[in-house]
Amino acid sequence: MNPLPALLVCFARCCGMELHLMRAFWFALACAEHETAVHFRERLLVFESRPIVTQAATAHFWDRHMQPQQLVALIESLVEEERLARQTATAMEDHVLRHVLADGRWR
């Protein structure tokens, strides 16, 4: 398995998420076949492969692909595909939702 992408490590730390949850997510994502998961995985790998990643590029990726509703849908697609355990998904979603405003935006 590939090492955990730096952006996912950063995201986990920002949300106070244990890295073992993010590793389970990354392992599930690496094996997933659902369109939502494949799309995100491909975008993330392209982003991570850049030789220089700027703050602006990171913000753009975050705004475009890592909004709360997108992440919850992605996590749920991994559960539907039986790639991620419900317990792990719920723990991840709890971390995400702790950092979301009432209108669905990041705090």
**CA 104 remoteness from chain centre:** 16
**What pLDDT score does 53 carry?**
87
Q: Please name which of 34, 29, 59, 36 lies closest in space to residue 47, comparing C-alpha atoms.
A: 59
Residue type, 39: H
pLDDT at 1 over 60: no
Confirm whether pTM is higher than 0.85: yes
DSSP labels for 41-58? HHHHHHHHT-SS--HHHH
Q: Which distant-in-sequence residues (6+ apart) come within 8 Å of 107 by Cβ?
A: 99, 100, 101
In the structure encoding, which two tokens stand for residue 23, read together?
A: 């590793």
> pLDDT tens for residues 9-59?
999 999 999 999 999 999 999 999 999 999 999 999 999 999 888 999 999
